[in-house]
Amino acid sequence: MKYSAEAIGKTIRLEREKRGWSQEALGKKIHCVGKQISNYEKGETVPPLDKLFSFCKIFDCELGYLLGEPNYTEGTTFKSHFSELTGFSSDLLPVLTELSQKGIRKHESQEYAQILYRFLQSSNFYEFSSLLKQYNDLYIDYSSGNDSVSKKFGQAAVNEAIDYHEKYDTPWPGIDYPNPPPHYVEIISELEKQSSQREADYLKLRFLRYELQESLIYILDELFPNESK
């Protein structure tokens, strides 16, 4: 089979951008410079085999996916088969794994496979899985806390701004206070916006949790109709 350097480069760029990494950040992970990643992504050069294996490890995919082999619609053959059989994106796999403490591997036996198959084939599964994906994505954002502000200004600057804000938030007339730390106004403003956003996200999480419970009840009623009567 003839492989295309351009197709390989597009896949590398796609996987990098999905993770929000810069070319320099990805280069550090596989021990090369960002310029080399740029050359790979443009299709100017094909990564050597050791670098291809490094990409596979970082992207959690198989070599055939990076090389653009036709039987790969997603990163691994398992993910590809999952998508083809169910019609759903493999992005749902981590969420489905959370349905069991032991993960998706628990369902490898025939008995559990049949139960899982019935669950996936439920007419209400699409709504349930979409809600679960929304909940998972929102929870990740909610759990990140002040990470975005820390990344932008640095944790030390954020800590200084918070300390100053707590000590001198209500200045008294006629009293000289020390000058605020660098980017004080911007940091406090973004922290306040983020706090408001977290409150809104928390309410959305509560609402989504309720919708998930209702959606799951519909699936159970469909799978076990006699029990619900």
**CATH number of the domain encompassing residue 18:** 1.10.260.40
| Structural domains counted in the chain | 3
Q: Which residue is listed with tokens 């139960």?
A: 115
Shared domain for 111 and 130, answered yes or no, is: no
Shared domain for 57 and 94, answered yes or no, is: no
Shared domain for 114 and 131, answered yes or no, is: no
Domain span at 108: 88-119
Shared domain for 52 and 105, answered yes or no, is: no
DSSP codes joined into one string, 90-130: GGGHHHHHTTSTT-GGGGGSHHHHHHHHHHHHSTTHHHHHH
Residues 6+ apart with CB under 8 A from 150: 158
- Is there a domain that residue 129 lies in? yes
- Is there a domain that residue 210 lies in? yes
Shared domain for 217 and 134, answered yes or no, is: yes
Crossing angle of the two packed helices 125-143 and 110-121, in degrees rounded to 10 = 90
Shared domain for 105 and 160, answered yes or no, is: no
CA angle 44, 7, 41 (to 5 degrees): 45
- Is there a domain that residue 174 lies in? yes
Phi, psi of 193 (to 5 degrees): -65, -40
pLDDT digits (tens, 9 = 90+) for 165-200: 888 776 666 677 788 888 888 888 888 888 888 888
CB 36, CB 27: distance < 8 Å:
yes
Nearest-angstrom CA–CA distance, 86 and 167: 57
CB 3, CB 46: distance < 8 Å:
yes
Shared domain for 135 and 205, answered yes or no, is: yes
Q: What is the mean pLDDT of residues 138-148?
A: 74
pLDDT digits (tens, 9 = 90+) for 45-88: 888 888 888 898 888 887 788 888 776 666 555 555 555 545 55
Shared domain for 137 and 214, answered yes or no, is: yes
pLDDT given at position 104:
45
